[in-house]
Structure 1
Amino acid sequence: MSFPDLIPQFEPWISEIRGRLIPNQPLSEVTWFRVGGPAQLFFQPADEADLALFLKHLPAEIRVTTIGLGSNLLIRDGGLDGVVIRLSARGFGGVEVLEGHRLRVGTALPDVKVATAAAEAGIDGLTFYRGIPGGIGGALYMNAGCYGTETRDRMVELRAVTRDGEIVTLSNADMAYRYRKSNGPRGAVFTSAVFQGFEGDRDDILARMREITEKRESSQPTKAKTGGSTFKNPEGHSSWKLIDAAGCRGLTVGGAQMSELHANFLLNLGVADAYDIETLGETVRSRVRDTQGISLNWEIRRMGHFLPGREVREFLDGDVFTGAV
């Protein structure tokens, strides 16, 4: 499917925008699952000022969706209407070492590069980012964490552009972080962040990062088309153990499968569409609920429109999803 081209209705101000504007860009090309329909208008701003100018002029009724590296994202097969913003490494991928064992990074930077930059500068406390796929923008949004440390433990402040084009600075408290969730200004696009670490030994930090890499590669399907951890851990439980106990390790729907290596990883075996992936996820949720009385919550962000006749219902028997959850 395709959407009407938005660009003509944005004249004449759209000519001032320096970034890339692509109508009906297939989002399957920019997500790790490699599925999903098109973005009505795909925008990669040149820099923060370009982003602010675009959002300032963009009519308020136009939907705006921001995506990062697409590592923890499922775009449905009908795609996304409105504008989809994806920050580029060129404009938003910088790293600056600050005094006091701090690091300022652009939000398009992959998590692993943040960990590496900190290690090279002798800054400890950010090694956990070596174990998280994706980019810093997504980590800030969902309070990503692993191995006992979360983003909220290290983030000092971040810069963002609001929906009306204002550039603002937000504190850790402004983000109201919780487990795998934040509550910052609705519609704001994060552009950079400052992280607080502490003094460490470069070689020791790099050695611990190698251990994290080895652990991930031995226990997770890191080279597969996947969105990482599929479901959040319920309080007092591990999702993978619940999925395993429900008999869902290796379960397949169409071209999608729950990993044999790690039961909480959902895979595209190569021929899946978003319908297969979301249906498999809801099948797993249903079986865990029915066998163990626990409702798993998605950690993967799902958004976009279903294709007609290819809707997915919650637990396969509830209401049809109509947007991001």
Structure 2
Amino acid sequence: MSQAAPRAPAAPAGPAPLAGSLEAGAALADFIWFRTGGPAEWLARPRDRADLAGFLGALPADMPVMAVGVGSNLIVRDGGVPGVVIRLPKSFATVTVEPGLRLRAGAAAMGITVASAARDAGIAGLEFLRGIPGTIGGAVRMNGGAYGRDMADLLIEATVVTRAGAIETWPAARLGYSYRHSALPEGAVVVEALLQGGAGTVAAIAAEMDRIAAEREASQPLRARTGGSTFKNPPGAKAWALIDAAGCRGLRRGDAQVSEKHCNFLLNLGGASSADIEALGEEVRGRVLAHAGVTLEWEIQRIGRAAAPEGETR
């Protein structure tokens, strides 16, 4: 009697259906500012918050989930990102003015868009968002800031879709803000923020936004493949000054370079890998520690897994 052939193992279960779009093996380097890194196992673009909530709630509990905006402060490692990457489409980018000098902004709205809407409505205090080249969702998650202000100064509440698929409104205090950090749990996705400003004139607000734009242009490598501020400022110090004093200005590893214009920016000169960029950052950290006794903390978020060594498969 012949023995039955062994049954092939079942294919791993993929994510739940989505009314928006769901793409397997999607390239992230197409929009990440460094233009490096491996693909997402799954890239999801939900149609609306209800679509996102249903999708997350139906996912296997052990499947990793993270949201990515425009990738302006992100290193995606060369081996790619396991699980699901959520990228909110333009339907999440609306900005509306509300009574009481408030703005309601979708998480996919860019900082400059929100700052401009506030200016046009005569709402002051949001000008610094002109200097944040990312989305409001990312700024809410990491307490993004610049020019002496951050999201903790503005946020009234955030609408969040939890990893379990619940749509919740969190008051600002629940986010537990500290410097470039929030208590938002892994897998939760910010979909909207309610922001509080103050009274101002359109002319004064516009002048401050122009000042911020000019200062950024003069001091930062805005036209390079970069990821924004690389390291957090240690208490009582500036990361760029520590990096400069440690002799790292212009330091290179392959096509990854410490910016000569602003030492707290890393650059991809064209052919760098994410591994090159991250290794250069670690070399900078080591040199600053040796020179000044200060351990710099990464501000750029590093996600995914390293590429397998040549000849190996995962």
Q: 2:27 maps to which residue?
A: 26
TM-score, normalised to structure 2's length? 0.93
Q: 1:95 maps to which residue?
A: 95
Could you list the per-position Cα deviations for residues 114-157 of structure 1 after superposition, in whole angstroms to 9, with x for gaps in the alignment?
10110011100100101111111110011011111111010000
User: 3-state DSSP class of the match of 2:272?
Assistant: coil
Q: 1:158 maps to which residue?
A: 158
User: 1:7: Cα distance to partner?
Assistant: 10
Question: What is the alpha-carbon distance in structure 1 between the residues aligned to residue 65 and residue 185 of structure 2?
Answer: 14
Question: What is the alpha-carbon distance in structure 1 between the residues aligned to residue 250 and residue 113 of structure 2?
Answer: 32
Question: What is the alpha-carbon distance in structure 2 between the residues aligned to residue 92 and residue 263 of structure 1?
Answer: 34
- Residue 9 and residue 251 in structure 1: after superposition, are their counterparts in 2 closer, same or farther (change >3 A)? same
Could you list the per-position Cα deviations for residues 207-253 of structure 1 after superposition, in whole angstroms to 9, with x for gaps in the alignment?
11011101100010011111101000111111111000110000010
CA contact (8 A) 2:42 2:83 kept: yes
User: 3-state DSSP class of the match of 1:29?
Assistant: coil
User: 3-state DSSP class of the match of 1:173?
Assistant: helix
Q: 1:322 maps to which residue?
A: none
Question: What is the alpha-carbon distance in structure 2 between the residues aligned to residue 179 and residue 307 of structure 1?
Answer: 31
Q: 1:40 maps to which residue?
A: 41
Q: 1:314 maps to which residue?
A: none
Between structure 1 and structure 2, the one with the greater Rg is: 2
User: 3-state DSSP class of the match of 1:41?
Assistant: strand
Q: Which structure has more RCO (C-alpha within 8 Å, separation ≥ 6)?
A: 2
User: 1:309: Cα distance to partner?
Assistant: 3.5
- The one-letter code sitting in structure 1 at the alignment partner of 2:13 is Q
- Is 1:9 matched up with 2:10? no
User: 1:184: Cα distance to partner?
Assistant: 2.2
Structure 1's consecutive aligned runs of 4 or more residues displaced over 4 angstroms after TM superposition are none
Q: 1:272 maps to which residue?
A: 272
User: 3-state DSSP class of the match of 1:9?
Assistant: coil
Q: 1:55 maps to which residue?
A: 56
- Is 1:179 matched up with 2:197? no
User: 1:9: Cα distance to partner?
Assistant: 3.1
What is the CA RMSD across the aligned residues, in angstroms? 1.5
Q: 1:294 maps to which residue?
A: 294
User: 1:10: Cα distance to partner?
Assistant: 4.6
Q: 2:285 maps to which residue?
A: 285
Structure 2: 5+ residue stretches without partners: 1-9
- Is 1:71 matched up with 2:72? yes
Aligned length: 301
- The one-letter code sitting in structure 1 at the alignment partner of 2:20 is G
Identity of aligned residues (%): 51
- Is 1:145 matched up with 2:149? no
Question: What is the alpha-carbon distance in structure 1 between the residues aligned to residue 99 and residue 299 of structure 2?
Answer: 35
User: 3-state DSSP class of the match of 2:250?
Assistant: coil
User: 1:69: Cα distance to partner?
Assistant: 1.2
User: 3-state DSSP class of the match of 2:247?
Assistant: coil
- The one-letter code sitting in structure 2 at the alignment partner of 1:238 is K
Q: 2:3 maps to which residue?
A: none
Structure 1: 5+ residue stretches without partners: 1-5, 311-325
Could you list the per-position Cα deviations for residues 190-211 of structure 1 after superposition, in whole angstroms to 9, with x for gaps in the alignment?
0000000011101211111011
- Residue 7 and residue 159 in structure 1: after superposition, are their counterparts in 2 closer, same or farther (change >3 A)? farther
Q: 1:210 maps to which residue?
A: 210
- Is 1:261 matched up with 2:276? no
Question: What is the alpha-carbon distance in structure 2 between the residues aligned to residue 283 and residue 195 of structure 1?
Answer: 39
Could you list the per-position Cα deviations for residues 71-106 of structure 1 after superposition, in whole angstroms to 9, with x for gaps in the alignment?
0000000001111111112x2000110000000000
User: 3-state DSSP class of the match of 1:221?
Assistant: coil
Question: What is the alpha-carbon distance in structure 1 between the residues aligned to residue 309 and residue 238 of structure 2?
Answer: 34
CA contact (8 A) 2:66 2:188 kept: no
Q: 1:120 maps to which residue?
A: 120
Question: What is the alpha-carbon distance in structure 1 between the residues aligned to residue 130 and residue 142 of structure 2?
Answer: 16
User: 3-state DSSP class of the match of 1:104?
Assistant: strand
CA contact (8 A) 2:66 2:186 kept: no
CA contact (8 A) 2:66 2:84 kept: yes
User: 3-state DSSP class of the match of 1:116?
Assistant: helix
Question: What is the alpha-carbon distance in structure 1 between the residues aligned to residue 243 and residue 232 of structure 2?
Answer: 12
- Residue 7 and residue 104 in structure 1: after superposition, are their counterparts in 2 closer, same or farther (change >3 A)? farther
